Amino acid sequence: MKNFVRNWDLKKHVAAVSMFYASMALVGNAFFSKKKVISDEKSCCPVKVYKEMPKSQKCFNGIILGCFAVDMTVSYLLLKGLKKITG
C-alpha cells in the first residue's frame, strides 16, 4: 500500500477522476437529453445548446461539475497529506 501511495501522483489521479466523471456525464446526458438532431454541428453555438437543454439535464450537469470540483479538492488535500506521512 505504501508503494502504491508513493507512486500515485496527482497527474494520475486527475486522469482517473476526469475519465470517471466524463463517463458519468456522457451516460447521464444521454438519458436526460432531448432526442434532437443538430442541423449544422460546425456552426452550433454552445450557449444556444445550453439554452435548449431541459432543466433536468442542466441540473444533472451542475451536480456532476460540483461533485468533480469537491472530489478534486479533497483528493488533492488527501494526497498531499499522505505523501507527507509516507515520505
Gyration radius of the chain's alpha carbons: 18
Dihedral through CA 67, CA 69, CA 71, CA 74, nearest 10?
Answer: -140
Question: 3 Cβ partners below 8 Å, 6+ apart?
Answer: none
Q: What is the mean pLDDT of residues 4-16?
A: 82
Longest dimension (CA), the chain: 56
> Is the Cα dihedral 25, 60, 40, 46 positive or negative?
negative
Residue 84 has pLDDT above 80, yes or no: yes
Residue 1 has pLDDT above 80, yes or no: no
**Which residue range forms the structural domain that includes residue 55?**
2-86
Cell numbers representing residue 80 in the block: 498531499
Q: Domain total for the chain?
A: 1
Q: pLDDT tens digits for 15-49?
A: 999 999 999 999 998 888 776 666 666 667 878 77
